[in-house]
Chains A and B, each alone.
Chain A
Amino acid sequence: MTGRDRVNAALQRKATSRVPVGEIGGGYTELIVQKLLAEDYETGPDAYFQNHLKLRQLLGADIVGARVTGPEVVVTGIHPDWQTETYRDFWGATYTQPPEATVQLVEPIASTPEALVEWTPPDVSQFDKSPIQRWKQDTDFFVLATLNAGFDLGYEILGFERFLMWTMQARDVMKSYFRKLISTNLQLALMSAEAGADGILIADDLAFNTGTFVDPNYLREDYFPLLKDMIGKIKATGLPVFFHSDGDLRSIIPDLIDCGIDVLQSCDPNANMDIPTLKEEYGQQLAFMGNIDVDLLANGTPEQVRQTTKSLIRDARQGGGFILGASNVVASYCQPENVVAMYKTAHEETE
């Protein structure tokens, strides 16, 4: 059974000899790829594809994340505080990466609601869908095309606090902003479907560990109707829709089901999102993916990872609708031996 078949079978609630296992997006940060492949790590012009192929083969992963890609970032100058390059992405936001720190937004796409009204998203018609085509043609992984919607991308390019405040102070502007982002991402989803994706992942963080960022009623009024429309149009292509959000989503799971999602990914145990419990309540309408705590992969021992993975598979595999993976992506600070332990256990726990 190929990875593609195994994931599809799990989504259709059919029996599989073992649970499918894999990650969303790039899946594994480059440092992890490098550590796990060691001397097999390549650096040539086709390195990304070759390394990620070899890594998935090494681990026995069933899924590959890929996306329609836009133009390269444009270097815009040097940041005065950190002396690091600033660069603008195709959405129009400018960033920099300070030394030994995470990326920092330097200039948002708009600093006033009025400017946001004027903002236009990029024309995606010329974006490159060949990464998806290649994974589909050359491998038998389940190709999960990644894109965004209105929230996660929305606050990344606008700045988190500004985004949140404007949901209160400039509600109509934000609704129109969501419409633009969702419309653009829908185009990317349809391009991904055309390129041969097996599923579409909408990455859209809506929550932190204790609940949603904004009032669920706000989401119901201003956001979910737009998301539902987007998901309906994607599903008309016949593809399943995966939805990624970190955090505690329990107050809005029925809304996400109503929007039409097929798979909920992340399911971070630190946010009370345990797949066995969620399956009991929503397993008929929704499949689940993830649930192995990234912090456990970072700070635990291989034996702890093995025990946790084993117990999760035992409790969540019944009736299908479950894909094992990290509760986010495999971050650079995860221990390679713990990642191996998770995948090895998934392969050992057969029925």
Chain B
Amino acid sequence: MTNAVQSAIILGNIRSIQDDISNLLDDGILAQTILDEHLLPGMTIVGERFKRNEMFLPQVLMSGQAMQTAIDILKPHLLENPNQEKKLTVVIGTVKGDMHDIGKNLVRIMLMGAGFTVIDLGVNVPSARFLEAAAQNSAQVVCLSALLSSTMNNMKEIVQSFRHDPKLKDTLILIGGAPVNSDFCESIGADGYAPTAPGAVKQIQNMID
């Protein structure tokens, strides 16, 4: 059954993943086990294949949809278990002025696949909304995305807002998007830069270790 769930994730097969997850739950497998041992390894494979250009955007988006379907089924069961390990929360969004979301969505999919709780604020997100969401959800990490050279400069204001907030100043901030790089990351005082969606997961894991 492990292979069936993983295959459904890798193939982005929403229909079969619904059946496979229900079967595992019926067999008494804990939701947390399904997540940790079946779904997350499947998404790890997706991330690796995408990085190696063996999977492409359409396939990754479909895997993301399958993953979301599975999590929606598991969510009530996960909430029932008080002993479950608390996952790190990441707030993600495309910065103000920028309506591009594919890069941000890929990072969201990869983060979900790595087991993070992801709060997606969407596109054109102002600084205040990032702060509000980080505070409300006790997020350890905030990911900022921008596709344009004009909008990447809005990242600086967001980083400064976090650094000036006594409660949120230690929030880890990761940036990504076509025009940004590690020099820019350093210049605005962000904690990390990732050039690719799978790289974002690795970078966050490095930052929190």
Contact = CB atoms under 8 A, between A and B. Distances in A.
A331 B149 contact: yes
Contacts of B61: 161, 164-165
A103 B100 CA distance: 10
A208 B178 contact: yes
Interface in B71-125: 96-100, 102, 105, 124
Residue from the set B58, B96, B99, B195 with the largest chain A CB neighbour count within 10 Å: B58
Nearest to B150: A333
Interface stretch (A46-54, A94-102, A255-263, A317-325): A94-102
A215 interface: yes
B53 interface: yes
A100 B62 contact: no
A294 B147 CA distance: 12
Given A333-B148, A333-B149, A333-B150, 9 more contacts: A98-B99, A161-B61, A164-B58, A210-B53, A213-B58, A214-B56, A215-B58, A218-B56, A295-B179
Contacts of A298: 149-150, 179
Q: Please classify the interface of chain B as helix (H, G, I), strand (E, B), loop, or mixed, using the class held by over half of its residues.
A: loop
Given A270-B178, A332-B150, A165 B58 contact: yes
B179 A101 contact: no
Interface residues of A, number: 31
Nearest to A217: B56
Interface in A293-333: 294-295, 298-299, 331-333
A161 B150 contact: no
Contacts of A333: 148-150
Given A102-B98, A209-B178, A295 B149 contact: yes
B149 A214 contact: no
A295 B124 CA distance: 21
Interface string A183-212: 000000000000000000000000011111
A168 B62 contact: yes
B58 A214 contact: yes
Given A161-B102, A270-B178, A295-B149, A101 B97 contact: yes
A174 B73 CA distance: 31
8 contacts: A101-B98, A102-B100, A209-B178, A215-B58, A295-B149, A331-B148, A331-B150, A333-B148
A319 to B, nearest CB: 31
A331 B53 CA distance: 30
